């Protein structure tokens, strides 16, 4: 995947710089065109001449060292790169990028590039766990940067723990796999529903459920990252969309969600109904606040429209995926729902299981397609689970074409 790729390697100051030498060598052997840019700190550990010999290209160290008067060097390199890798990445460089600081050639170039940026941290275990570093990494992930987590082991500082620069071969493997899936959904239109609905009783009270929308929003971000144009129909949740390719439509009631989904269903290639839509709503909605009365209160409820059933019944070329959030015998109910609603696949999870369910950042699910081939996705972040779900959807779509 990296053959003929133009790769900018940013090397920052740390003892792990020696691994960057091996990384350049391996990238070059794979057919990549590598240019190295070093911070001043990095040059204290390894000479630029070493990287020049390994990459067979000039090494950049100084913003003001303009070798070609017809070009501004850092802008030229920023535009040239397909991929940018920072290895080793110190706490200092991570902080600078997170706050938009451009005080040397590497940070200036990283601000200017539109290449995919991969960051491989290397630092003391306590530095890696510091709240400031964690916050900066989270910010960069939200902006679309990709992190290659450090390994655990004996560190140069004498500590044993997480913070050791990942091995060059692993860095290359991670980047290659990511690049392979980068355009997984290119040209696809993906329609996703997320969150709960609210069914009003009066201006003050409503029926709803515990859905936070986190899974649906994670799916939307993953689809957009993989190149899809995404329409996200969201119930009332406290979640933010980040990717510019997500068109968000906010709704409140089950009827609102039904209408919004059907407005966009015909053009969709993939439809994922991750929302927890209310099955019932009050027959009567009061215009004024209901006053407290003596005795019990009985509210008559009526069924809402079954959105997923309607999509399964009417689909033509759409790949329709449902969710089955259960607390008992989830696989049985999931299979039944898959068949009854004429779905192409269903995501089954036990919301009572620790680490799964509503309002948490992780999930544990089983992907089941209409051929009843299942894939269990173990405990992971909802972002990671979402990516794995799209790998499986893309696999099934490819099988349908054969």
The pLDDT of residue 243: 87
Question: Token pair of 110, please?
Answer: 């990283």
Question: In 3D, which of 235, 248, 232, 239 has the Cα closest to residue 207?
Answer: 235
In this structure, CATH architecture of domain 6-181: 3-Layer(aba) Sandwich (3.40)
C-alpha to C-alpha distance for 136 and 157, rounded to whole angstroms: 23
Q: Where are the domains of the chain?
A: 6-181, 189-279+300-401
**Catalytic site residue 157?**
yes
- Collapsing DSSP states into helix, strand and coil, what is residue 182? coil
Q: For residue 147, which phi and psi values (nearest 5 degrees)?
A: -105, 140
Question: Token pair of 311, please?
Answer: 């999509």
Burial letters 226-255, b for 16+ CB under 10 A, else e: bbbbbbbbbbebebebeeebbeebebbbbb
Q: What is the mean pLDDT of each run of 10 residues along the chain (402 residues)?
A: 92 94 96 96 96 96 83 91 96 96 96 93 90 92 85 54 84 88 89 97 95 95 93 96 92 98 97 96 95 91 97 96 90 95 95 81 93 92 91 90 56
Catalytic residue among 72, 102, 127, 157: 157
Please state whether beta strands 362-369 and 374-381 pair in parallel, antiparallel, or not at all (unpaired). Answer: antiparallel
- Collapsing DSSP states into helix, strand and coil, what is residue 113? coil
- Collapsing DSSP states into helix, strand and coil, what is residue 373? coil
Domain 189-279+300-401 has CATH 3.40.50.10300: yes
Per the CB < 8 A criterion, the answer to whether 266 and 231 are in contact is no
Question: Token pair of 253, please?
Answer: 């009631």
The pLDDT of residue 121: 94
CA angle (226, 229, 235) in 5-degree steps: 105
C-alpha to C-alpha distance for 209 and 393, rounded to whole angstroms: 28
C-alpha to C-alpha distance for 95 and 102, rounded to whole angstroms: 11
Taking phi first (over 0 means left), then psi (-120 to 50 degrees means alpha), and beta for anything else, what does residue 295 get? left
The pLDDT of residue 402: 55
């Amino acid at each position: 995947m990296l053959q003929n790729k133009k790769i900018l390697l940013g090397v920052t100051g740390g003892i792990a710089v020696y691994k960057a030498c091996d990384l350049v060598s391996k990238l070059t052997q794979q057919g990549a065109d590598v240019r190295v840019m070093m911070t001043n700190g990095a040059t204290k550990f390894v000479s630029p001449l070493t990287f020049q010999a390994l990459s067979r290209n000039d090494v950049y160290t100084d913003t003001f060292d303009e070798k070609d008067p017809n070009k501004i060097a850092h802008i030229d390199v920023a535009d040239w790169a397909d991929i940018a890798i920072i290895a080793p990445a110190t706490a200092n460089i991570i902080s600078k990028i997170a706050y938009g600081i451009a005080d040397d050639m590497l940070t200036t170039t990283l601000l200017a590039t539109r290449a995919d940026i991969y960051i491989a941290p290397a630092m003391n275990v306590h530095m890696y766990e510091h709240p400031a570093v964690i916050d900066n990494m989270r910010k960069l992930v939200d902006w679309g940067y990709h992190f290659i987590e450090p390994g655990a082991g004996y560190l140069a500082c004498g500590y044993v723990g997480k913070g050791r620069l990942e091995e060059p071969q692993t860095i290359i493997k991670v980047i290659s796999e990511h690049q392979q899936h980068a355009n997984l959904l290119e040209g696809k239109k993906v329609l996703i529903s997320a969150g709960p609905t609210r069914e009003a009783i009066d201006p003050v009270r409503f029926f709803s459920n515990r859905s936070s929308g986190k899974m649906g929003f994670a799916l939307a971000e993953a689809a957009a990252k993989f190149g899809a144009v995404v329409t996200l129909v969201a119930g009332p949740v406290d979640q933010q969309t980040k990717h510019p390719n997500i068109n968000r439509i906010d709704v409140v009631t089950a009827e609102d969600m039904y209408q919004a989904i059907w407005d966009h269903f015909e053009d969709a290639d993939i439809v994922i109904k991750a929302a927890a839509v209310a099955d019932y709503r009050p027959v009567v909605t009061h215009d004024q606040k209901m006053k407290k009365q003596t005795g019990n209160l009985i509210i008559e409820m009526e069924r809402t429209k079954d959105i997923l059933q309607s999509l399964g019944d009417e689909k033509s070329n759409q790949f329709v995926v449902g969710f089955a959030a259960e607390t008992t015998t989830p696989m049985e109910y999931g299979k039944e729902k898959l068949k009854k609603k004429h779905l192409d696949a269903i995501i089954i999870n036990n919301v009572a299981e620790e680490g799964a369910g509503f309002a948490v950042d992780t999930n544990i699910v089983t992907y089941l397609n209409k051929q009843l081939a299942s894939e269990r996705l173990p405990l992971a972040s909802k972002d990671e689970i979402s990516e794995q779900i799209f790998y499986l959807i893309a696999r099934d779509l490819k099988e349908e074409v054969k």
